[in-house]
Amino acid sequence: MVAFAAVAAMAEVVKIQLPLETAVYKAAPGVQLANGQCLTCHSADYAGMQPPKPRDFWKAEVDKMREKYGAPIPVDESEDLAAYFARNYGTETLERESTNAASPGVAMLPAAIDARALALKSGCLNCHGVDTKVVGPSYKDVAAKYRGKPDGQDRVAHQITRGGSGQWGQIPMPPFPQLAATELKALTQWILSQ
């Protein structure tokens, strides 16, 4: 009995900390939708590990995530999401984009950015409510914590782009490094204005 007590006293809880997720989906039309809707639950590496599958496979996956697992993917965006994965990770080839379409790397001016729409499109509102905690803190709570602090905007922007955990609990926030600087600034200012 004494030996068991000695061994038990030496035992410690093992804590494993995984590295922060840094992978994002392939830069192509539709990537912002994929990053916003899928990175909140999945690693971007997961799509790359799949053997090339046709669009109907990806559509079934998107529908399954929405219908069976309750992913907040808007029904009207499920076709676009399936098309993105079919073109970039599936069997379809990306057709030549119209010359009128904006390049995914071209950012709008901050004044022209609808930050709430950007938050919705990027998946931020899947985990954060404006007034209520969902998975992460409400934006009103974030604003109350950082508004008026000299480094407040930088700290919120850092959390968005780098992700992490420990600021508001143990559930990690995935990083969103794909946002253009103007989008990040508009989103940060909008969060701090709540």
Residues 80 and 37: beta-carbon distance below 8 Å: no
Q: What is the pLDDT of residue 49?
A: 82
Q: What is the pLDDT of residue 20?
A: 56
31-89 shares its CATH topology with 110-192: yes
Q: What is the pLDDT of residue 191?
A: 95
- Which homologous superfamily does the CATH classification assign to the domain defined by 110-192? Cytochrome c-like domain (1.10.760.10)
Averages of pLDDT over each 10 residues, the chain, 194 residues: 58 64 77 84 82 91 92 90 92 51 40 84 88 92 92 92 83 83 92 94
Q: What is the pLDDT of residue 138?
A: 94
Q: What is the pLDDT of residue 16?
A: 62
Q: What's the start-to-end Cα distance of the chain, in Å?
A: 60
| Domain residue ranges of the chain, discontinuous segments joined by + | 31-89, 110-192
Taking CA atoms, 114 is separated from 40, 50, 69, 78, 91, in Å, by 21, 35, 29, 22, 34
CATH of domain 31-89: 1.10.760.10
Q: What is the pLDDT of residue 190?
A: 93
pTM: 0.57
Question: What are residue 100's phi and psi, to 5 degrees?
Answer: -85, -15
* Burial group, residue 18, by CB count within 10 angstroms (0-12, 13-18, 19+): exposed
Q: What is the pLDDT of residue 153?
A: 93
Sign of CA dihedral 42, 20, 175, 50: negative
Q: Which of 33, 35, 32, 92 is nearest to 58 (CA)?
A: 92
